[in-house]
Amino acid sequence: MDYKIPWVELAIKEALKSTYKNGIGNMVRVGAVVFNKKQVISSGHNYGNRSLSRSHNRKFRKFLNSIHAEVDAIIRARTNLKGASIVVVRIDRSNNLRLSKPCEYCEAYIRHVGIRNVFYSTNSGKIVKRRVQCRE
C-alpha cells in the first residue's frame, strides 16, 4: 500500500542536506523524520565524520565514522519516542525516491527507543509502512 503522509517532503529536504559519500565515492542521500500523530518531533540526515568513532554508542552503528539518518533523527529528538513513527527516504542523483528500508542496526535502535511504525521509500517511489515488533 502506498501511504500519503505529510512528512515525506520534510524527509526529502533532510536528504538533500546530506553530503555523505560511500566507500566508492557515490553520494548517498537519506533523510528521516520522527513524528507522532500530527506533529514533527525531529528530523535528521546521514553524514560522515571521523570524530564520530568515539562519540556515539557503537551498538547501533553499522560503520564507525558515519551516522545514518534514522539515528540522527532519534538523537536530535531528545525526548521519549515511545509510540512515535519515523519516515525514511533515500533519493538518487535525479532526486527520485529509492529503497530506504532501515538496516539491522537502525532497526535495533528504532525498537530500542519504542518507535512503533516505520515508513520508508521503495525503488518504485512509493512509501510503505511496517509495524515494529515490540521488544520482549
pLDDT for position 27:
80
Least-confidence region, from 4-8, 35-39, 71-75: 4-8
Q: What is the pLDDT of residue 53?
A: 45
pLDDT of 65 over the 60 cut:
yes
CA angle 29/111/7 to nearest 5° reads 45
Q: Collect all residues with Cβ–Cβ distance below 8 Å to 37 and sequence separation of at least 6.
A: none
Q: For position 113, what pLDDT does the model report?
A: 94
Average the pLDDT over 54-65 and give the result. 52
Judge whether residue 54 has pLDDT over 50: no
**Residue with the larger pLDDT of the pair 56 and 8:** 8
Mean pLDDT value across residues 96-102: 95
d(CA 46, CA 31): 7
- Residue range 119-132: average pLDDT? 95
